[in-house]
Structure 1
């Protein structure tokens, strides 16, 4: 009798355990909540991440994106933002995006260009005289092709936002020709095209994570940095290096992506809300970046930074041609992109 009772108890326990597992499986989702009772529309709490500080224009654009999502969805969509690499380096971010553990990433074009060759388009040296020129290509056909290619990595390419053009900050001296950079250790963002350009002009390009730059500049591990003005101000590198040459030698976009796994869970209507929200946010962010270019320059001058402008790039032409020829031959998208810049 006791054995029969024990068997019934174990059978009941097994049924309860199976039922619990089924409920847990049905309810598990890192980016969305279950549908509301009564057939109401789906609600979402998305996760987004990036590498910059909260004062940077990319973070402000992400905030704007969150506001637009919430407004267009009537409060059904909310965005949690994890800035300054809180969720790990970009390599880890991409892995989490691939699985859907993170929904949105504002990823540096530099890191992503190591995974997708066509993204080196943005890093063809001395292509844009100003940030405004770079922004004009945002909706061009080659750029749309770059975003489309990201699908092969489990990502939905949404848009490009910008932080500003790149310039050169040195601890000592301004830059007038490649001779001024010979043998100098320059911190760069890790990208094949950027590495090739700095090598071609005879400098010692040194890739390193953003958190290491301040100390490396301070201790002399590096002599200068390749930097946009927004990062220069927000990271306060001007406190230890005060010779800035405005070169506009590169532009610096972020690739805004969504996890394909997360995107595919959305209805067609909600997918359109995401696209519209990001477009509105980036439109705003681009204008904010353009405004900040001048404001940041004034901030640096007031802080005592010695500013010079590179007006003649003829000495850089051999290096420019070498890099552009190499990458346009490797990628038809890069070739098309460069053709767009001269139309």
Structure 2
């Protein structure tokens, strides 16, 4: 069986499995509703801890009438497969990078624009303001509703053979990117060769030389153990893509107004908790990476900014609606 057919068969299997289990996904005993929540990260990741906190608060707020069961580490599928399961209502919730939502919520592309945010305060104002709230609901017509944002730090390049000190160092390198047009265009503008690889397959892809490097935040680099293959981490901090906690609109609409309120409140509280976890995890991850022998560098960001100016220009002419949001974001003080 070819690799493509195998992937198609696996996907069909998961869809069938969860379609059969749909009643279990959103209900339990007659007086208890259980929402299944899957994600692709390991249990040591701060995002997983935040999801457990979310589940705890939902149960507390509802007096046990509404519960969330969390399935980590791709137990229920890859990030994209989980999103597709949400669309058909066979899975209740997941966490996804805003970049991975581009195909379902087109306006989310704006959050992946490189060097868009001035600093952490600017980013927080955008995400928790009107723009952020509108973006959370942009995928509703695709049966995906955003509940809140989780901090996913700043993404930087890590590599096997040499540090990425300037865009010139990316030339000739195959760099793993998410399935995101924005990420693809960014790496290409910097001179690299963007190569989409599923997160769960990246360690092997690095080992086998399918890709020469990747880009991600410190906690993900550390918890994934990609540093065992990549000895260089160059903190150019090109993007600050948040994670998004999403719920299937099919599941959301099946909840009573009270249940929706419990879920939204718990999600917002988990976001506050996750921001604290993330800050501590980033500090610890960088310390542990240094202990492991990873060469961490802080290259001048200006050459990287200049390299992606073409991305902004193309958005101005090809996607004016995205460029308009960029301007609104830049005006926020």
Instruction: Classify the TM-score, shorter chain.
Output: 0.7 to 0.9
Paired residue for 1:327? 315
Structure 2 unaligned spans of 5+: 1-21
1:163 partner SS: coil
Q: Deviations over 1:120-164 (max 9, x none)?
A: 111111223655543342212222111121110112221111221
Is 2:27 the counterpart of 1:32?
Answer: yes
CA distance in 1, matches of 2:128, 2:215: 26
* Deviation at residue 296 of structure 1 after TM alignment: 1.1
Match of 1:185 among 171, 174, 185: 174
Residue 282 (structure 1) aligned with residue 271 (structure 2): yes
Q: Post-superposition shift, 1:306?
A: 0.9
* Runs of 4+ with >6 A deviation: none
Q: Which residue of structure 2 lines up, in the alignment, with residue 115 of structure 1?
A: 104
* RMSD between aligned residues: 2.0
Shifted more, 201-210 versus 134-143: the winner is 134-143
Q: Structure 1 residue 50 and structure 2 residue 45: aligned?
A: no
Which one of 202, 221, 224 corresponds to residue 210 of structure 2?
A: 221
Query: Is 1:125–2:114 an aligned residue pair?
Result: yes
**SS of 2:139 mapped into structure 1:** helix
The answer to whether residue 151 in structure 2 is matched with residue 162 in structure 1 is yes
Q: Do residues 266 (structure 1) and 261 (structure 2) align?
A: no
Alignment of 1:1-343 (within 5 A): 28=23, 30-33=25-28, 35=30, 42-128=31-117, 131=120, 133-313=122-302, 315-329=303-317, 330-343=319-332
Do 1:107 and 1:256's aligned partners in 2 also have CA atoms closer than 8 Å? Answer: yes
Q: How many angstroms does 1:45 deviate by?
A: 1.1
Check whether the contact 2:66–2:259 (CA below 8 A) recurs between aligned residues: no
Distance between the aligned counterparts of 2:23 and 2:311, measured in 1?
A: 48
Q: TM-score, normalised by structure 1?
A: 0.84
With over 3 angstroms needed to count, the CA separation of the structure-2 counterparts of 1:128 and 1:294, relative to structure 1, is farther
Report the alpha carbon displacement of residue 183 of structure 1 after superposing the two structures with TM: 1.2
Distance 1:95 1:306, change over 3 A: closer
Distance 1:147 1:320, change over 3 A: same
- Give the TM-score normalised by the residue count of structure 2: 0.87
Whether the aligned pair in 2 keeps the contact of 1:169 and 1:245 (CA below 8 Å) is: yes
Relative to structure 1, the CA distance from residue 211 to residue 92 in structure 2 (aligned partners, 3 Å threshold; closer, same or farther) is closer
Residue equivalent to 1:4: none
- Corresponding pairs, count: 310
For the 8 Å contact 1:157–1:257, the answer to whether it is kept is yes
Contact 2:175–2:193 (CA under 8 A) maintained in structure 1: yes
Return the offset for 1:275.
Answer: 0.5
Query: Secondary structure at 1:70's aligned position in 2?
Result: helix
| 1:184-230 residue CA offsets vs partner (Å, 9 max, x unmatched) | 11111120011001111111111101122112212322211111111
Which SS does the other structure have where 1:252 is aligned?
coil
SS for the counterpart of 1:281 is: helix
